[in-house]
Structure 1
């Protein structure tokens, strides 16, 4: 699984990857190598060769023997890729924000209220803490009690709620509006999983996982979205998964619920623009890979032994809150090196099956 979702460049870290694939680095280097006086070209040649020698040690691969002409060809390729990458990122961002170039206006964090489902533990707890640090008031919907570290924070309000019940969500929503105010941010984070083959899946658990991972999104949005539409301001965050794109053996239930979460996000985005004329109500969908949280603690060690690189809750919560802070909508795939997997269903069938076979064999070894 890890060999598919992680490219070798993942070893470099996002900051170094962004630097290498920045046109503001490759462009001037390419210009210097091809147009500058011989003295400058000689200096740049050494810089490029040093970069070429450094990368193999970071990627654990043999060092290449680069001539200046080879280095120039590589720089041309990197520069072209970096331009395409930047253009693609810009178009993605603009498209996700109803073709607006600027960030949404009218946000004042100390006066904003967020609702986080499943906010008492795991990723949800980290999201709550980061939102509070940003100055927001946060309403936590969970069947678990708040951890003691959060109980005395005046900006955190706990509402015991079974998100699988529309009645329970409605009661909690009424209490939030009455005691805290109208939320402008909704983060549908609650989720469960229990790896099991299709033929062994009991109906009771099947109904439960669809209720928690999918149906709850309808219940919460039906309660909190109308006020956002009225103001044409808000942000709905849907926490899906890499499993939205790739279904694994013994995880048909989880993959199906996360694919449903993605479809929910896409329809919600379209409805906000075309049914309700509320394009400034932002929508973000999040697709993390395996995350070491209480949700999969029982299988974490097995996953890591099989070569899966587990994300930390921090690595997921941080970009979610950063996205909210940016006042822009979007799609987050975590880690970014797995972004290509989102297009798998457009690949030729034979290639899709090769990927699924590889992933399937790997996952069944757990």
Structure 2
């Protein structure tokens, strides 16, 4: 096994779903902080994002176990160790439960729940060897509440909280923390694509979807910016958060305050 990270050496982070939105913001944040970053995405355009930020791009479809383990192996080959894992990759499909396609269900669960498990499992020995590790799972407010038409997404995000808590308990004595961030609607391409889907599902104009569906339960009536989520990721991945583990951080504009 490669040597663990040494004091003073740059920490190494793997960020999935890195080609846009939250993942892109996290890659930029980490690179600005001097971390070495492996940016992982199924979209080959993610290479441009990684290059612009100063990260290394790894093209992978994380719905396969080989790709998940390959991402960690690539980080080890490139940088020699892995300290931080940000499980962010996600997709969405909106359809009534009765007609929800099985293929979409399996794809979403594989990418958004099984992949974080496999990536965590693969990175764990390197974090344990260093007696230091940070796992941040980008969940959603839909890890706490549900919305119609999102059976697979809601199920994956609820499961991700359970994985986070289990990793926190097992990692506590090893110097490994695990936390989840649960944002409401963030201004990302994924959310923008949902507007049209929700408009069709609910039979309403797209602006009405934003006002009466996405922001209906929010005390603060706006979308969250990806950079805001990246700032919280940065804190949870730092030494300053060494006492924080097993937590689900609601970043929901007051959605769950009622």
8 A Cα contact 1:163 1:219, kept in partner: no
8 A Cα contact 1:304 1:310, kept in partner: no
Please name the residue that 2:48 is paired with. Answer: 148
Please name the residue that 1:327 is paired with. Answer: 241
Question: Which of the pair has more CA radius of gyration?
Answer: 1
Alignment of 1:128-147 (within 5 A): 128-145=27-44, 146=46
8 A Cα contact 2:182 2:251, kept in partner: yes
8 A Cα contact 1:115 1:139, kept in partner: yes
8 A Cα contact 1:183 1:224, kept in partner: yes
Distance in 2 separating the partners of 1:268 and 1:340: 27
RCO higher in 1 or 2 (8 Å CA, sep ≥ 6)? 2
List alignment gaps of at least 5 residues for structure 2: 1-5, 196-205, 216-221
Distance in 2 separating the partners of 1:246 and 1:152: 36
Distance 1:174-1:323 versus aligned 2 partners, 3 A rule: closer
Please name the residue that 1:293 is paired with. Answer: 188
Distance in 1 separating the partners of 2:91 and 2:193: 13
8 A Cα contact 1:187 1:237, kept in partner: yes
- Report how far residue 190 of structure 1 moved: 0.5
- Report how far residue 248 of structure 1 moved: 1.3
- Report how far residue 175 of structure 1 moved: 2.2
Helix, strand or coil at the partner of 1:306: helix
CA RMSD of aligned residues (A): 2.0
Please name the residue that 1:315 is paired with. Answer: 228
Is 2:125 the counterpart of 1:219?
Answer: no
1 or 2, which has the higher helix percentage?
1
Could you list the per-position Cα deviations for residues 125-176 of structure 1 after superposition, in whole angstroms to 9, with x for gaps in the alignment?
A: 00000000011010011111225354255x4111111111111222232222
Please name the residue that 1:231 is paired with. Answer: 130
Distance 1:327-1:195 versus aligned 2 partners, 3 A rule: same
Distance in 1 separating the partners of 2:256 and 2:237: 20
Distance in 2 separating the partners of 1:107 and 1:321: 19
- Report how far residue 333 of structure 1 moved: 1.0
Please name the residue that 2:219 is paired with. Answer: none
Task: Give the TM-score, by structure 1 length.
Answer: 0.59
Distance in 2 separating the partners of 1:290 and 1:259: 16
8 A Cα contact 2:23 2:88, kept in partner: yes
Helix, strand or coil at the partner of 1:296: helix
Could you list the per-position Cα deviations for residues 226-262 of structure 1 after superposition, in whole angstroms to 9, with x for gaps in the alignment?
A: 1111222110001111111111111121111100000
Is 2:177 the counterpart of 1:282?
Answer: yes
Would you say how many aligned residue pairs link Structure 1 and Structure 2? Answer: 230
Task: Give the TM-score, by structure 2 length.
Answer: 0.82
Distance in 2 separating the partners of 1:157 and 1:177: 12
8 A Cα contact 1:193 1:209, kept in partner: yes
Distance in 2 separating the partners of 1:267 and 1:131: 26
List alignment gaps of at least 5 residues for structure 1: 1-105, 342-366
